[in-house]
Amino acid sequence: MAIIALVSAKGSPGVTTSALAAALTWHRRLVLAECDPAGGSILAGYLGGALDGPRGIGELAVGELRDGNLDTAFWSQLVDLDAPRRERLLLPGVVDPAQAGSVTPLWQRFADFFASLERGVPPYDVLVDCGRLQVAGPPWPVLRAATVVLLVTHAHLPDLSATRSMVRAIERDFTEHRVPPGTLRLLVVGDGHGASEISKALRVPVIARLPHDPRTAAVLSLGGTVRSGRPLMRAAGALEVPVRALLDRRRARLAWPGATPPPAAVTAPTAPGVSGAV
């Protein structure tokens, strides 16, 4: 399914929690990439810091700038969330603010590489946590390369007001860069205004709603045992269905002769190159 990006306008509407819940319930091979310039939180939170050394997109960026070795180094920087199956992999985000300066100039390089993973052997979907856009060095190239962009928002008026402004900013950027229409969707978190009301007011369809489930959110943020029967996990598991349906419809519309060829595929290493941390 190529790249599915999650982003928010402001505050903490649950982008990382939503992305992690979806990743843990995804049915295809998946890489969850933390591309929030403000820093990643899954290593220190859900994984409790249980790693054997530095890992993640910051390390990749430093190596790419120095040696241009992203294609070979990528797999060694992943964490297996479902070890040893290598079906749900995490690319941790930056942990040192100094790393953000190395990552920012490489967003386009990462976007192109993520897009190639869909055609790899084996193929991987890429779920990208882009965090808030109102920060220095946001990953716009990743959003433009995404097949679907999910703008995460709470359903109360202050959040929706900020989200409306962000919708317009994203639409202007996508128009300028010729991103195909229909890429943007809303992912609503928690109680509040109804989905149809929100969709009408913001003029963007709501693809799904995730329930307010503080117990599960705490586990995903701070670590612990994730229970698949909890409301948030059930809803996150169902999110893949409308996302895949949207992708199928978009690809049917875009399947014109003479389309620009996709980036070259990559091949995942067959030897163990991914460390399990849970």
In this predicted structure, the answer to whether residue 235 has a pLDDT above a threshold of 70 is yes
Distance CA 234, CA 107 (A): 32
Strand partners, 197: none
Q: Are strands 3-8 and 206-210 parallel, antiparallel or unpaired?
A: unpaired
- pLDDT digit string, tens, across residues 29-38: 999 999 998 8
Chain centroid to Cα 154, Å, comes to 18
Strand partners, 153: 188
Q: Given pLDDT bands bounded at 50, 70 and 90, which one contains residue 13? A: confident
Which region holds residue 11: left if phi is over 0, alpha if psi is between -120 and 50, else beta? left
Distance CA 240, CA 231 (A): 15
- pLDDT digit string, tens, across residues 69-125: 999 999 999 999 988 889 999 999 998 877 888 999 999 999 999 999 999 899 999
Token couple for 136: 């220095």
Bond prior to 84 in cis (omega within 30° of 0): yes
pLDDT score recorded for residue 252: 79
Give the closest residue to 11 by CA, choosing from 127, 151, 117, 216: 151
pLDDT score recorded for residue 274: 45
The CATH architecture of the domain made up of 3-255 is 3-Layer(aba) Sandwich (3.40)
Distance CA 60, CA 270 (A): 20
- Those residues with Cβ within 8 angstroms of residue 131's Cβ, 6 or more apart along the chain or in another chain: 7, 8, 15, 16, 35, 36, 37, 38
pLDDT score recorded for residue 265: 67
pLDDT score recorded for residue 200: 96
pTM of the model: 0.90
Amino acid at 192: G
Phi then psi for 8, rounded to 5 degrees? Answer: -135, 165
* Residue-range domain boundaries for the chain: 3-255
Range 47-56 average pLDDT: 80
Token couple for 168: 């317009």
In this predicted structure, the answer to whether residue 257 has a pLDDT above a threshold of 90 is no
pLDDT score recorded for residue 264: 65
- State the CB neighbour count (10 A cutoff) for residue 102: 20
- Helix 15-25 to helix 214-222 angle (10° resolution) is 90
Distance CA 13, CA 145 (A): 23
Distance CA 211, CA 150 (A): 16
pLDDT score recorded for residue 135: 83
Cα angle: 249, vertex 250, 255; to 5 degrees: 105
- pLDDT digit string, tens, across residues 141-153: 999 999 999 999 9
